[in-house]
């Protein structure tokens, strides 16, 4: 007689809780490893933002306890008679920077991309101004902008019978002069990004365009730009956000003058915080500017979603 033996599996089947834990364990381990970096990022990135939101509804005086004032800071800022001019100056600078400063890096990138043999050399030259410390670059250009006939730029213009030009001392010339310097100083980064985008375009597209008899401008217009529309759209958004927060250049070039022609919103925030020592008003205006930029970024993303796809 043979004995019946059990051939079933040993042990019980894992429960639903055990299976769930096995699925979640890798993610929890990864989260535990990344937790310190995440906490540091939240503290240094979102901590100041939350503090600013709180401070914007407080009356903050150094050495005294903060007092809640609600929307009083926002009402005070919006009723400031100097705010409209600062806002218009900021918008004016942004428009000038987009109309004149935005196409320059793109044109330089296209030109450098066509110079295949010496691309690295011209790319380095284009990026060189970015490596100059901003304060040094501004002081150097301020020397170039000497309004007398002996100034560097005025000497060059005088050789062809133009000038002298009151670069930074005239309300009409001050803001365009600042735009000229910021375009020179910041174009290098955009040039490198555009060159990277141009070199990533499949060469077959260029070859097909050349077989059809397309010249350089036809290849740029019908091949390069359509392939780069996503990058161009993103760079335009970033430039608008960056130019709306212009501070260093007008502060060091003109101090907001002449006649307030170059005083921007960030200079107004600086005036609230460090001249009037009104931190509540400064943070309130900062929050308003951030809100406007967030709304603009949202609307821009919605309007250009199909175009940049």
How many beta carbons lie within 10 A of that of residue 97, not counting itself? 22
What are 153-166's pLDDT values in tens digits? Answer: 999 999 998 878 99
Q: What is the pTM of this model?
A: 0.84
Residue 269 has pLDDT above 50, yes or no: yes
Q: Are both 190 and 78 inside the same structural domain?
A: yes
5 within a domain of the structure (yes/no): no
Residue 256 region, left (φ>0) first, then alpha (ψ -120 to 50), else beta?
Answer: left
CB neighbours (10 Å) of residue 220?
20
pLDDT at residue 6, rounded to an integer: 46
Kindly provide the b/e burial profile for residues 160-177, where b requires at least 16 CB atoms within 10 angstroms of the residue's own CB: eeebbbbbbebeebbbeb
Same domain flag for 174 and 34: no
Based on the fold, state whether residues 166 and 234 are members of the same structural domain: yes
Hunting for tokens 């759209």 — which residue is that?
233
Per residue in 43-80, pLDDT (tens digit) is: 898 888 898 899 999 888 777 777 888 899 999 999 99
150 and 35 in a common domain: no
- How far is Cα 308 from Cα 249, in angstroms, rounded to an integer? 32
- Over residues 250-271, the mean pLDDT reads 94
d(CA 99, CA 84) in angstroms, rounded, equals 22
**Which range marks the domain in which residue 35 is found?**
16-48
Residues 66 and 77 sit within 8 Å (Cβ to Cβ): no
Q: Residues 270, 145: one domain?
A: yes
Same domain as 295, residue 210: yes
User: Do 101 and 178 belong to one domain?
Assistant: yes
138 shares a domain with 42: no
Among 48, 66, 89, the domain boundary falls at 48
Does one domain contain both 42 and 165? no
Distance CA 267, CA 182 (A): 17
Task: Give the CATH number of the domain where residue 104 resides.
Answer: 1.10.3720.10
- With tokens 């006649």, the residue in question is 259
151's tokens: 């100034």
Number of domains in the chain: 2
Note whether residue 194 is domain-resident: yes
225 and 122 belong to one structural domain: yes
Residues 201-237: tens digit of each pLDDT? 887 877 787 777 777 777 778 788 888 888 888 899 9
> Could you tell me if residue 229 is inside a domain?
yes
Q: What is the pLDDT of residue 305?
A: 76
Report the Cα–Cα distance between both ends of the chain, in Å, rounded: 78
**204, part of any domain:** yes
In this prediction, residue 12 carries a pLDDT of 59
In a domain, 58, yes or no: no
The beta strand positions in 47-131, using DSSP E, are 58-59, 67-68
Is the same domain home to 34 and 83? no
Pair 222, 100 in one domain:
yes
Closest CA to 250 of 166, 304, 177, 303: 177
Give 174's pLDDT tier (boundaries 50, 70, 90). very high
| Domain assignment present for 174 | yes
């Amino acid at each position: 007689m043979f004995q019946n033996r059990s051939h079933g599996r040993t042990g019980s089947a894992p429960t639903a809780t055990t299976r769930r834990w096995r699925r979640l364990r890798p993610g929890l381990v990864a989260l535990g490893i990344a937790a310190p970096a995440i906490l540091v990022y939240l503290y240094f990135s979102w901590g100041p933002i939350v503090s600013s939101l709180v401070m914007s509804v407080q009356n903050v005086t150094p050495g005294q306890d903060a007092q809640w004032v609600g929307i009083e800071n926002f009402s005070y800022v919006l009723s400031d008679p100097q705010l409209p001019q600062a806002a218009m100056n900021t918008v004016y600078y942004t428009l000038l920077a987009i109309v004149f400063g935005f196409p320059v890096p793109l044109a330089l990138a296209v030109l450098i991309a066509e110079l295949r043999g010496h691309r690295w050399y011209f790319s380095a030259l284009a990026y060189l101004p970015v490596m100059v410390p901003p304060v040094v670059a501004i002081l150097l250009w301020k020397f170039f902008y000497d309004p007398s006939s002996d100034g560097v730029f005025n000497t060059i213009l005088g050789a062809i019978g133009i000038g002298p030009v009151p670069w930074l001392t005239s309300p009409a010339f001050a803001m365009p002069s600042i735009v000229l310097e910021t375009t020179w100083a910041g174009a290098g980064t955009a040039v490198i990004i555009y060159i990277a985008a141009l070199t990533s375009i499949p060469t077959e597209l260029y070859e097909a365009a050349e077989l059809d008899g397309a010249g350089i401008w036809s290849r740029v217009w019908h091949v390069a730009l359509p392939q780069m529309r996503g990058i161009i759209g993103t760079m335009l958004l970033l430039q608008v956000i960056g130019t709306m927060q212009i501070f260093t250049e007008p502060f060091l070039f003109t101090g907001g003058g002449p006649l307030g022609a170059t005083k921007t919103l960030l200079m107004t925030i600086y005036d609230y915080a460090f001249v009037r020592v009104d931190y509540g008003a400064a943070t309130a205006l900062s929050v308003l500017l951030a809100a406007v930029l967030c709304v603009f970024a949202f609307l821009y993303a919605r309007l250009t979603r199909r175009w940049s796809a």
